[in-house]
Structure 1
Amino acid sequence: MLRRLTALVDSCLLPTVRGRHGRLPEWILRGLDNGTPGVAVDTQGPAARATADALRAALPDALTGHPGPARQGAGGDAAAAGLVAAGANLHLAVRPGLRADETRVFVTDLQTHGVAAALGPFTAAGSLRPFAEGAAAGVRAITAGRTPVPDDGQLPAMLSARAVTGVLRGELGYGGVVLSDTLDAPTIVDGWGVPGAAVLAWIAGVDLVRLGPSSGAGVRDAIHAAAARAVADGDLPQSRLEEAAERVARLRRWASEPRMPRMPAAEPAPAAGTGAG
């Protein structure tokens, strides 16, 4: 029973590594052995690729998250090319588009290349149109943000069942993975602590909890202890973690599937009588 719970918790955590030397910390390697689906790589350039290669050496079908190109504004095809070059298969910073259809086009173009989009931050406030577009386009992940939800006791969206389960899952009908924003922000640490916030996020309906780069083995152990207490007390049903782990597993399978490169659009044939003569 305890071993199963430990594996479930690890299956629902996404640690972050700086990746300066292309190596993974020992505690992350242990987590990968126990079910951790991958890591978020918080660096750019050759160091990002070296870290992604080290991750794939340890776990060939790993989720490799990345914040995307250093220069923003490129379309989905260009963003996918940069992420694939960095060894990533999960874009962690897909921003909602301001124009109608912008989000759908970006998500579709990105995911055609096998790079999963994590659209966010979702706050359950303001315009929900980009998230409805993303859900309709089959976006693989949505990131719940840290912005307080006014009608839910000022809880951050990623800790709010009203935002995640009520609005995102219920009103928008989204069925994919919900990520949390990283838990190392001062407002989260001071308000709930990282372990407490992780448990509240899972209770709210988040599937994959992101740990910031400052989190280490001690934080992971504290999250395991907090989750075990919450399950024993009945606050966090184990079935909730099982549901979350299954969604994350589906995302991981999708992101590791080989895909044929998309063929460029064919040029239109010349009209009759316009050929060179």
Structure 2
Amino acid sequence: MNAVRRLTVLVDSCLLPSVSGAAGRLPDWILRGLERGTPGIAVHAYGSAARSAASALRAALPDALTGHPGPRRAVGGRAAAAELVATGANLHLGVRPGPAADETRVFVTDLQTHGVAAALGPFTGAGSLRPFAEGAAAGVRAITAGHSPADSGRLPAALDVAAITGILRGELGYGGVVVSDALDAPSIVDGWGVPGAAVLAWIAGVDLVRLGPSSGAGVRNAIHAAAARAVADGDLDLARLEEAADRVARLRRWASEPRMPDAPDRLHEARPAAALPAAAPATGDL
């Protein structure tokens, strides 16, 4: 594989596009990305719209990584897994750190035991690191790097080498996937633009760059161009992208392995599990 082709595959392998639903078909630019290595998508939808997007993704890539912000109400890890599996998701992108001791560990363990990978966050490097240490010790499959900086005047955590490589990788010894919050936040767009932020995130130690639903083919192409410039200038090491792509591939393999969460009608029979705050303040099922 020539160098240009290799870089194209690596960049696509480290991107997670988002959709707000799918009318039976994903956008062409996402489908092309899936053919070149994109591991899956994040689905920002609920109910039938979420199931439709997940079905369209599975039709294109049966072992895809299907991210979702999680149930719209606070539930335990087992119930969250059952709801997410029912809607076609295998990655919970909205797992929040629990304030009580052992709360994060219980939720992450219950969620992942029952078939759904957890992305715990947002991690900023500030405040209490205990929930993230708990999550790492419990084998959390992913940690989300947030938009907020660890300290005033510093970069957003997702773009900050000190936060990701220094604290998360170094102090906490976390070796799993680091996924960015969606890079369409106004603070990111206004400060660096999505392509520039994507490159900074990879340099900082992020593995999987998450794009918001507003990002389309133009943004994806601009990210590829920005990555190519950064590699040519020596700012982004190709080995860093290879490391990131390898971690993402391992997460995808784990998430695509068949597991059977408890049936919804048996969930009340299981021991109580800690319920973490829900990802969105609405009501109703996925």
TM-score range, shorter chain: over 0.9
Cα separation, 2, equivalents of 1:266 and 1:61: 29
User: Runs of 5+ in structure 2 lacking a partner?
Assistant: 272-286
Relative contact order, CA 8 A, sep 6+: which one is greater? 2
Opposite residue 222 of structure 1, the aligned amino acid is A
8 Å contact kept, 1:112–1:262: no
Q: Name the counterpart of 1:46.
A: 48
Secondary structure of 2:228's counterpart equals: helix
> Greater CA radius of gyration, 1 or 2?
1
Q: Name the counterpart of 1:149.
A: 150
Opposite residue 184 of structure 1, the aligned amino acid is D
Q: Name the counterpart of 2:256.
A: 256
Opposite residue 104 of structure 1, the aligned amino acid is R
8 Å contact kept, 1:61–1:252: yes
Greater mean alpha carbon deviation, residues 142-151 or residues 220-229: 142-151
Change (3 A) 1:221 1:132: same
8 Å contact kept, 1:144–1:179: yes
Secondary structure of 1:178's counterpart equals: strand
Shift of 1:122: 0.2
Opposite residue 111 of structure 2, the aligned amino acid is L
Shift of 1:70: 1.4
Q: Name the counterpart of 2:205.
A: 205
8 Å contact kept, 2:82–2:261: no
Q: Name the counterpart of 2:161.
A: 161
Aligned identity (percent) is 80
Moved over 4 A (4+): 260-267
Shift of 1:148: 1.4
Q: Name the counterpart of 1:16.
A: 18
Matched, 1:89 2:90: yes
Q: What do residues 96-127 of structure 1 show as CA deviations (whole Å, max 9, x unaligned)?
A: 00100000000000000110000000010000
Cα separation, 2, equivalents of 1:240 and 1:262: 39
Q: What do residues 116-139 of structure 1 show as CA deviations (whole Å, max 9, x unaligned)?
A: 000000010000000000000000
Secondary structure of 1:117's counterpart equals: strand
Change (3 A) 1:27 1:133: same
With normalisation by structure 2, the TM-score equals 0.90
Shift of 1:154: 1.5
| Equivalenced residues, count | 265
Shift of 1:262: 5.7
Cα separation, 1, equivalents of 2:229 and 2:242: 17
Q: Name the counterpart of 1:220.
A: 220
With normalisation by structure 1, the TM-score equals 0.93
8 Å contact kept, 2:94–2:121: yes
Q: What do residues 186-225 of structure 1 show as CA deviations (whole Å, max 9, x unaligned)?
A: 1101100000000000000000000000000000000000
Shift of 1:50: 1.1
Q: What do residues 233-253 of structure 1 show as CA deviations (whole Å, max 9, x unaligned)?
A: 000000000000000000000
60, 63, 69: which one aligns with 1:61: 63
Opposite residue 26 of structure 1, the aligned amino acid is D
Q: Name the counterpart of 2:140.
A: 139
Cα separation, 2, equivalents of 1:261 and 1:87: 13
Cα separation, 2, equivalents of 1:166 and 1:35: 29
Cα separation, 2, equivalents of 1:237 and 1:266: 47
Q: How does 1:21-32 map to 2 (within 5 A)?
A: 21-32=23-34
User: Runs of 5+ in structure 1 lacking a partner?
Assistant: 268-277
Cα separation, 1, equivalents of 2:212 and 2:24: 18
Opposite residue 138 of structure 2, the aligned amino acid is A
Q: Name the counterpart of 2:280.
A: none
8 Å contact kept, 2:179–2:206: yes
Shift of 1:261: 4.6
Cα separation, 1, equivalents of 2:25 and 2:191: 32
8 Å contact kept, 1:22–1:47: no
Q: Name the counterpart of 2:76.
A: 75
Q: What do residues 30-80 of structure 1 show as CA deviations (whole Å, max 9, x unaligned)?
A: 000000000000000011011101100100000000000112x20001100
